[in-house]
Structure 1
Amino acid sequence: MDFFATCVLYLSLCLLFVVFWKKRVTPHLPPGQKGWPVLGETLEFMAAGWSGCPEKFMNDRAARYSPDVFRTNLYGKDMAVFCGASGNKFLFSGENKYVTPWWLESMGKITHFPETLGNINSKDVMKKRGFLLEFLKPEALQHYIPVMDFMTRDHLATDWSPYKEVKVFPLSKRYTFALACRLFMNIKDPQIVSKFAKPFARVSSGFTAVPINIPGTPFNRAMEGGKVIRQELLNIIRRRKTEILEGKDSNARDFLSQWLLQGDDDGTVFYDMDASNKIMGLLIASHETTSTSITIVEITFRIDLVASEVLVKCQPTQFAAKGSSNNRKNRPVHLGFTRALYTQQMEIAKSKGPDEFLNWDDVQKMKYSWTVACESMRLLPPAQGAFREATVDFSFAGYTIPKGWKTFWTVYSTHKNPKYFPDPEKFDPSRFEGNGPAPFTYVPFGGGPRMCPGKEYARLEILIFMHNLVTKFKLEKVIPDEKFIYYPSPVPVKGLLIRLLPHN
């Protein structure tokens, strides 16, 4: 064989090796599309929420590409969206094995001091989460039930009772924020609470906005609001540390005091900043999802609201059964839940003295009330899902998710899926009686090791508010067809105007 033939054979073998090697190592990625350069499909994702149908983005793609997992690009990141109970189970149980929590970089820029963003240690994160879980466990929260009850009564007496009509959403945000300031920082002065609340309104509207830091944009307003809040929190933390050193705060039960009393202060400004970051996260969580949950529950207190507003008004999705209709007149309604809810709460109210506050035993009697709240949050979830980041290459449903990709689990692939919830648009609290829904199908608080640590806090806050509201008022919706948009949590566009009526 001459030299030329040898070279041709050698090059051919190399080419074949490269082709077969490439085929062998190329991952079988989930089906889907990346969308526009840089932006990906972010605008379509956000537009679905603004239109009031956030599930449309997810369900359309799941139907088009795969009911298990599909590919997209959100906020400039390659992303795998996991669907169904099996997808939820995989991500929840794969925590610290395949995936780790991930947040939009824009969120960190809004909520954290810039100096601390590069100093996040995984061990410190786990330690802080453990401390938070300890603070928010049911046994610890029992002590706060009378405080929650007192503040709820005061809120309704001041901001509701004097009026014939009220806007529920802004009032619920005011209430939940004031309660968070009280329990997390022991702040009771309404003026200080108001001072925090104003910049917080700017922060919440910029979380999932396109991160363009130009004056006038939502992200820029959120950045400015975050800067104001962080500095105020830093001032409070330094004053509280002085009070602790002087022995004035040794018996305090609020989160901030307990955090500072744990004795790990290294004496640097970074410790104070880190404490500020943690408090900021708590305030945001309570300010957004819990106030939304309270609003969602409140709109179920009249039968016609369940038929018209709690149930989704979008076009039928991939989960709609054949022949089904979204016409309100065809939607079955659980007609007895309001009477049962009122009866349960009135029995508890009659067992209390006029100046006696609710306690843990009272809340434990509110089982049916909680099924109503759960069904409300199934139909109108307070959060859409959560992001994770792949820490290794892994496979799911026959597809490879590369290391570094982001993942997203979404409530919309299970909450209204007839596979898990028969007749999914029917408001039926009995779904949550007995053993309740199948595992990994009802996920308003997530699941697994990273389940929302504030779940019990939210449960107590919702039930205590529900008790006081149901026993004092009947509610009548002023704008029958008020629309909800997602920004990113559900928000009534007119604030949910309610007429207050006395019980007969």
Structure 2
Amino acid sequence: MELASSVSSASFLMLVALMALAWLLKHANWYLYEIRLDEERRRSLPPGDLGWPFIGNMWSFLRAFKSGDPDSFMSSFINRFGRTGIYKAFMFGSPSVIVTMPEPCRRVLTDDEKFQPGWPVSTLKLIGKKSFIGISYEEHKRLRRLTAAPVNGHEALSLYIGYIEENVISALHKWSKMGQIEFVTELRKLTFRIIMYIFLSSESEPVMEALEREYTTLNHGVRAMAINLPGFAYHKALKARKKLVAIFQSIVEERRNQEETKVPAKKKDMMDALLEVEDENGRKLNDEEIIDVLLMYLNAGHESSGHIMMWATIFLQENQEFLQKAKEEQEEIVKKRPPAQKGLTLKEFRQMEYLSKVIDETLRVITFSLVVFREAKSDVRINGYTIPQGWKVLVWFRTVHLDPEIYPNPKKFDPSRWDGYTPKAGSFLPFGAGSRMCPGNDLAKLEIAIFLHHFLLNYRLERLNPGCATRYLPHPRPIDNCLARVRALSSPSV
């Protein structure tokens, strides 16, 4: 009897100890990050949950995005704390505030006096501390001024439109002869070829394949837990970055040698511009700065465009009434073309009003980049809550784009929702907003439109696994990479 009583008491004490330990662990982040704030700031923090020590809310984030229901992550905050549009959390190793409504999103993205880039250290190690996501406001403004015109300016787009169209026509013809392909993989190769030409004047297949392969590994580590151990995605991504830097270093050195030996370049490209630029004191960019800017641009310049081309094609094939309307618009553009004209013009691109709605709707539904990171430079009041100085601010685009109060039936692909509709500031953010908005947005839309123009007129897509699940990290895509056949139409329009 006494033995049984002793065992029971020991079990009870162990249970109490475990419960106490669990309570302490659950509240550890509160002690680490909230207790240091004065009482007024603690009281005015947004509602939310800082999660477990070190891990924070990352397990629930990764679980949601790997479950097939990524929106369950933010739904859990909304269900527990109400529709406040702003929540505290512990994400990517830092105390954070997540904003999910248009006005707070707009404020965070456009107020450079109060907010600065706040990307996780793990992401900076992958993308580069000298890339746009890591440099100061003044450095960013200078480099953006240098790089934006060659990518987005009217003259640049006019220059590249022929090259893009030539490669799209060639790729579609090749795919139609290949049989079964991974559609998104081939699209990414296409968009990578285009961005390589713009930035490096390179069309070397071996170089492109090597770079694109490493970028795929790099991107898988960007949204992963920052565990630098063999076998983990982040560890593989760091190794991929090392290989990418080595490749770019050799390209930079080769180009510098050409400058010294006065070897004439075939054409001026972005690499030439980065090598030549000087600040007001005559300082030029060093190799690390050039490589990080190149690494960032080449990644952003192909990844998003290729995926959006794929999803727009899938959505149109699944909705024949939208496909037919988009196709009729492209046929009308070709019909009005002067007989002597060869290929698309920027004027024709700007006449693609319905196709532009198709692209915008695809960007909204897919939300290729679900979040960007900022950091509060001082205490900031938003929606009646305080964001403490030094805390990260996560602008959660996905929740904004799928808000039923802004976009009724938000997960339905419906280009007609854009008829006569102008989104309010902060409610449509496919390329971000403010001074750090994606500098290649016009080029991306041009690429997507040219691809859809030729696809709609001359091809159709047959998916082999149309019901296959979607993987959401690092970006939304079918788990089979859209295994499909590209079929040429028997009676092509052009």
- Which range, TM-score by smaller chain? 0.7 to 0.9
Indicate whether 1:453 and 2:470 are aligned.
Answer: no
The count of residues paired between Structure 1 and Structure 2 equals: 450
Q: Give the corresponding residue for 1:62.
A: 78
Shift, 1:428, TM fit: 2.0
Shift, 1:93, TM fit: 2.7
Shift, 1:166, TM fit: 2.5
Shift, 1:338, TM fit: 1.0
Which residue type is aligned with residue 196 of structure 2? C
Give the secondary structure class of the aligned counterpart of 1:72: strand
Q: Give the corresponding residue for 1:238.
A: 253
Match of 1:86 among 96, 99, 103: 103
Q: Could you tell me whether the CA contact under 8 Å between 1:59 and 1:413 is conserved in 2?
A: no
Match of 1:474 among 441, 448, 460: 460
Indicate whether 1:227 and 2:242 are aligned.
Answer: yes
Q: Could you tell me whether the CA contact under 8 Å between 1:78 and 1:406 is conserved in 2?
A: yes
Which residue type is aligned with residue 298 of structure 1? T
Q: Give the corresponding residue for 1:488.
A: 474
Give the secondary structure class of the aligned counterpart of 2:246: helix
Of residues 459-468 and 244-253 in structure 1, the stretch that sits farther from structure 2 once superposed is 244-253
User: Could you list the per-position Cα deviations for residues 68-122 of structure 1 after superposition, in whole angstroms to 9, with x for gaps in the alignment?
Assistant: 201111112111111211222221232x121111212112222338x999x9554
Shift, 1:207, TM fit: 1.2
Which residue type is aligned with residue 301 of structure 1? L
Unaligned runs of 5+ in 2: 1-36
Give the secondary structure class of the aligned counterpart of 1:501: strand
Counterparts of 2:137 and 2:361 in 1: how far apart (Å)? 36
Q: Give the corresponding residue for 1:110.
A: 126
Shift, 1:262, TM fit: 2.4
Counterparts of 1:184 and 1:146 in 2: how far apart (Å)? 16
- When normalised by structure 1's length, the TM-score is 0.83
Unaligned runs of 5+ in 1: 1-20, 307-334
Indicate whether 1:145 and 2:131 are aligned.
Answer: no
Counterparts of 2:131 and 2:439 in 1: how far apart (Å)? 23
Shift, 1:269, TM fit: 11
Which residue type is aligned with residue 450 of structure 2? I
1:85-484 superposed matches below 5 A: 85-94=102-111, 96-112=112-128, 120-139=135-154, 140-158=156-174, 160-249=175-264, 252-263=267-278, 271-302=286-317, 305-306=318-319, 336-350=321-335, 351=337, 356-484=342-470
Which residue type is aligned with residue 173 of structure 2? A
Q: Could you tell me whether the CA contact under 8 Å between 2:278 and 2:284 is conserved in 1?
A: no
Give the secondary structure class of the aligned counterpart of 1:166: strand
Q: Could you tell me whether the CA contact under 8 Å between 2:471 and 2:478 is conserved in 1?
A: yes
Which residue type is aligned with residue 223 of structure 1? L
Give the secondary structure class of the aligned counterpart of 1:445: coil
Q: Could you tell me whether the CA contact under 8 Å between 2:93 and 2:120 is conserved in 1?
A: no
Q: Could you tell me whether the CA contact under 8 Å between 2:172 and 2:486 is conserved in 1?
A: no
Counterparts of 1:166 and 1:349 in 2: how far apart (Å)? 29
Which residue type is aligned with residue 428 of structure 2? Y
Give the secondary structure class of the aligned counterpart of 2:449: helix
Which residue type is aligned with residue 399 of structure 1? Y
Which residue type is aligned with residue 326 of structure 2? L
Change (3 A) 1:225 1:265: farther
Give the secondary structure class of the aligned counterpart of 2:149: helix
Of residues 143-152 and 63-72 in structure 1, the stretch that sits farther from structure 2 once superposed is 63-72
Shift, 1:372, TM fit: 0.8
Give the secondary structure class of the aligned counterpart of 1:336: helix
Change (3 A) 1:249 1:157: farther
Q: Could you tell me whether the CA contact under 8 Å between 1:288 and 1:489 is conserved in 2?
A: no
Shift, 1:267, TM fit: 11
Counterparts of 1:141 and 1:81 in 2: how far apart (Å)? 36
- When normalised by structure 2's length, the TM-score is 0.84
Give the secondary structure class of the aligned counterpart of 1:100: strand
Counterparts of 1:265 and 1:273 in 2: how far apart (Å)? 20
Shift, 1:426, TM fit: 3.4
Identity %: 25
Change (3 A) 1:28 1:263: closer
Q: Could you tell me whether the CA contact under 8 Å between 2:179 and 2:485 is conserved in 1?
A: yes
Q: Give the corresponding residue for 1:17.
A: none
Counterparts of 2:280 and 2:211 in 1: how far apart (Å)? 25
Counterparts of 1:126 and 1:27 in 2: how far apart (Å)? 37
User: Could you list the per-position Cα deviations for residues 232-287 of structure 1 after superposition, in whole angstroms to 9, with x for gaps in the alignment?
Assistant: 10111121122234444567342111222324599999701210110000111123
Match of 1:42 among 42, 55, 58: 58
Change (3 A) 1:24 1:51: closer
Change (3 A) 1:383 1:354: farther
